[in-house]
Amino acid sequence: MKDRYESPFTARYSSEEMTKLFSADTRYVTWRKLWLALAKAEKALGLPITDQQIAEMASHLTDIDYEVVAAREKETKHDVMAHVYAFGKAAPSAAGIMHLGATSCYVTDNADLVIYKEALTLIRKELLSAIKALWAFAEKYTALPTLGYTHYQPAQLVSVGKRACLWLQDFMADLDDLEHVLNGMYFLGCRGTTGTEASFMELFEGNEEKIDQMNRMIAETFGFETCVDVCGQTYPRKADSRILKVLSGIAESAAKFATDMRLLQHDGEVMEGFGEKQVGSSAMAYKSNPMHAERICSLARYLTTDAMNGAFTASSQWFERTLDDSANRRISMCEGFLAADAILLLVTDLAAGLVVNEKVIEKRVKAYLPFIATENLLMEGVKRGGNRQELHEIIRQASVRAKKAIAQGETPDLLADLAESRAFGMSKEEMEDVLDPALYTGRSARQAEIYLSKIKAVADEGDTLAPIEI
């Protein structure tokens, strides 16, 4: 059916795995699993819940009757109670003990944490794949000289691989941040309406150890080692803000990489892979646009602004609970993950298919190398008895003349111009001897080698993903 709005993330951009994580089925089945885990823990700790009730709940975790839910929610205006009702209809013997002692946030918040943890784990996997693809590219072109740019003006030479290490280093920082957040994730547990666990003090007749044990049992069921130390009705929304900041960081790194690629493709130095039957433009058949890079930048712009939702929500929660977070979180959190997922798939595909046009790079290096070599020529001229300040002025004037000639469409011979001055004590041929590009990349290749060796174990963790359809 195509007569309703459909998110571009689910329709075009994001992986099937990520979209399933944020599906209605995943969310509401997790709610039922949480109700089951609560009942099991309460039974184990002595509350009057039977094996039959547990078994009946366990046999109806996935058969959600959404029509029953919708009808009940229309009456009650409460989604959690509508799902309690539908679960009770499916498992009638357990209807009377479902949700015992809990508040709505027991299922909504804990389910979100379960899904976010799974989603972060998937993002980590995709980030490692992107790192692996970029690592392989950087390793292949570790020593290839290319023009460096400052202010997007030609500067001293670097190597293609060393530049790729700049992109890699950003993504490695994102991996550190992601792992810090992922390893620090906690469970909410079943804490009551204001986080005081008052309902369970009543149910367990003041036995605090049983309350703690119940929360540990439920948390362990869902793979969490700890519950948050203190909370209101919800887990602290600071957790959401931290997650979105990590996702935003990935978007920032991706946009930097993709922007550099768009600039490089403009000059034909490094380009995206282009399919045999791919169409670059509906009007200009000759075009091959940087589609992946442009889409990365577009989605990254969305995700970096989406991260502000987490900050605003965390800072605007009143005391133990307000509901102005709910509608925002339903959109900002899931779509933040879907955007990060889509971006990383594109980054991996782009990095794995990069085409380096070495002849174009060589031509541009040769065109600018005489200017870049002037500092070395100045030093050599001083060694041969020249005056540093005089030589600097000669180079400046010759460079101005050469740039004016370039502006007129001419091809100047800067070295011949400099050689005419006896102040250098060098012939044009002697000057050309110092025009080996490898002499002007500094420690680029070595820096890349050292860094790539340092992160090789991380890159080796990444999976090689199949190319995506764009």
Amino acid at 1: M
Contacts of 352 (CB under 8 A, 6+ apart): 133, 136, 137, 464, 465, 467
Looking at beta carbons, which pairs linking 49-58 to residues 24 or more positions away fall under 8 Å? 49/97, 49/100, 50/93, 52/93, 53/91, 53/93, 53/94, 53/97, 54/94, 56/91, 56/92, 56/93, 56/94, 57/32, 57/87, 57/91, 57/94, 57/98
- The C-alpha atoms of residue 293 and residue 265 are separated, in whole angstroms, by 10
Is the Cβ–Cβ distance between 267 and 364 less than 8 Å? yes
DSSP for residue 468: P
Distances (CA, A) of 450 to 243, 292, 443: 31, 30, 10
Q: What is the largest distance, in Å, between two alpha-carbon atoms of the chain?
A: 103
Contacts of 208 (CB under 8 A, 6+ apart): 201
In sign, the C-alpha dihedral spanning 458, 461, 466, 468 is negative
- The C-alpha atoms of residue 301 and residue 296 are separated, in whole angstroms, by 8
Cα-Cα end-to-end distance for the chain:
23
- The C-alpha atoms of residue 354 and residue 161 are separated, in whole angstroms, by 12
Residue 45 CA, distance from chain mean position: 43
Q: Could you give the dihedral angle defined by the CA atoms of residues 121, 122, 128 and 133, in that order, rounded to the nearest 10 degrees?
A: 180
Q: Which H or E run contains 154?
A: strand 153-159
Of 59, 78, 266, 281, the active-site residue reads: 281
DSSP for residue 466: P
Is the Cβ–Cβ distance between 157 and 187 less than 8 Å? no
Count other C-beta atoms under 10 Å from residue 429's C-beta. 9
- The C-alpha atoms of residue 290 and residue 213 are separated, in whole angstroms, by 56
Any catalytic annotation for residue 151?
Answer: yes
Rg (CA), the chain: 31
- Among residues 335, 346, 443, 352, which one has the least CA distance to residue 132? 352
Catalytic residues: 151, 281
